[in-house]
Structure 1
């Protein structure tokens, strides 16, 4: 299926690795020109250069911390000055630190709030006038914790749920502008972040990483961790011109792990 990305412009945040990088590559494969950002200028420049050469698309790699207002403003300004339009926005950010409620300081809560919730608010608000022109699509990356909280991840459980609530609300508010918004919630997709979570659980429970991963696999009907590309192809559809009627939904890419209705 041709997703209709040729000639379009997609913005992907936290794109240097993991799910962000996988989605960026899928969009490039479909022909989208890309604006990519990461806190690491070298990593994001390397990725942008590779995708441009491999898929023949235009790319712009920028160093930006999405928890900072000035960096989001810079991202928007550079996108419009370089390309003059935006058709798709993928809001992504690194997960907050793990730990229990009583272990978190005010500074921990504030950092997670700015990085994982306010970044989405500011990105959508800032790109809204431009997305309205193109009838653009927005996808946020959350977590299976929006349905079932994950032990030891109180910050993620709180703010990922907030993002899902925001997206559901905006589907109603921005729908008349022709903008479609959805949330993609990964289960156990094999990224560095998921390995870190498993390692923290292994340390907490006095087990090996292999033991923990085998226990996790027992909870997944498909019997394995997912691959980033398996999520990326679905996110690409939601961001594409082929998506004309799906909005306000939260999708679990989890191999059947989440048992709740």
Structure 2
């Protein structure tokens, strides 16, 4: 299938590894020009795209600087993928979360997207482009010790629906992709050790069963990238305002 992405201009946040790197790779493979924003540039990202920027997207000016760099470099913008996010505190209970913990999660998981969209919208309106936000099953599956993260992802999904309602009639499609457990460093090597701790393989092998994943396996980052790129491509012009699950069957009982 030709996704008609040749020459399209894109920004991917959190592009240095995991889902963001997979999305960047998938977009460039389809012929798109991608500006990859990452806090720490990786050799893997540099191999995928020559257009990279080291930026802290949780800061007030970070998202605008990244999007501005892309628009200046490419002469416009067709696609914005808001992928950056994650836990900003160790897993802990609600009563242990201080105001600063909530603010840190808000800045990274929600306000970074708000700021990126605000900067990108003029260019996206001109190109009648697309926004894809990477959310999480935790928007629909509240879990203890993930309280602030789930709340931010729920807000992110609602934001996409509101943006779709406001800007869809003007040609900009907005969608959310919500993955379940994806096999990234967050699971493999959460502490960024030089080598994963002993017993990592055995621990990971037990996770799909413990989380009752229908497929019996983690989701691969490339699977999420396929869904993101398809929604960004315009081959599904009627798909907007949706929250698209790829969860290995995790939420089957809801």
Please give the TM-score of this superposition, normalised by the length of structure 1: 0.87
In terms of fraction of residues, the more helix-rich structure is 1
Could you tell me how far 1:115 is from its partner in structure 2? 0.8
1:72 deviation in Å? 1.8
How many residue pairs align between the two structures? 243
- Structure 2 match to 1:51: 48
Paired residues for 1:7-18 under 5 Å = 7-18=7-18
Closer, same or farther: CA 153–132 of 1 in aligned 2, 3 Å: same
* Residues 214 and 88 (structure 1), Cα distance of their counterparts in 2 relative to 1, 3 Å cut: same
Q: Is the 8 A contact 2:24 2:34 kept in 1?
A: yes
Shift in Å, 1:130: 0.3
Q: 1: CA distance between counterparts of 2:173 and 2:123? A: 14
Corresponding residue for 1:64? 55
Tell me, yes or no, if structure 1 residue 254 matches structure 2 residue 247: yes
Aligned to 1:6: 6
Corresponding position of 1:56: none
- Of residues 206, 211, 217, the one that matches 2:209 is 217
Task: Say if 2:171 is the partner of 1:174.
Answer: no
Distance 1:208 1:48, change over 3 A: closer
Residues 19-28 or 62-71, more deviating: 62-71
Unaligned runs of 5+ in 2: 191-198
Indicate the residue corresponding to 1:200 in structure 2.
none
Alpha-carbon offset, residue 67 of structure 1:
1.1
Q: Cα distance, 1:47 vs. partner?
A: 3.6
Q: Which residue pairs with 2:227 in the alignment?
A: 234
1:163 maps to 156
- Flag the 1:208–1:240 CA change in 2: closer, same or farther, 3 A: closer
**Counterparts of 1:229 and 1:25 in 2: how far apart (Å)?**
9
Cα shift at 1:150: 2.8
Given that residues 217 and 225 in structure 1 are in contact (C-alpha distance below 8 angstroms), is that contact kept between their aligned partners in structure 2?
no
Alignment of 1:91-240 (within 5 A): 91-96=82-87, 97=89, 98-195=91-188, 210=202, 213-217=205-209, 219-240=212-233
How much does 1:171 deviate? 1.0
Give, in angstroms, the shift of residue 151 of structure 1.
2.9
Question: Once superposed, which parts of structure 1, at least 4 consecutive aligned residues long, lie more than 4 Å away?
Answer: none
Q: Give structure 1 stretches of 5+ with no counterpart.
A: 53-58, 198-206
Q: Which residue of structure 2 lines up, in the alignment, with residue 244 of structure 1? A: 237
What TM-score, normalized to structure 2? 0.90
The C-alpha deviation readout for 1:55-97, integer Å capped at 9, x for no partner, is xxxx410011111122222112211211111111100123022
Instruction: Give the root-mean-square deviation of aligned CA atoms.
Output: 1.9
* Counterpart check, 1:90 vs 2:81: yes
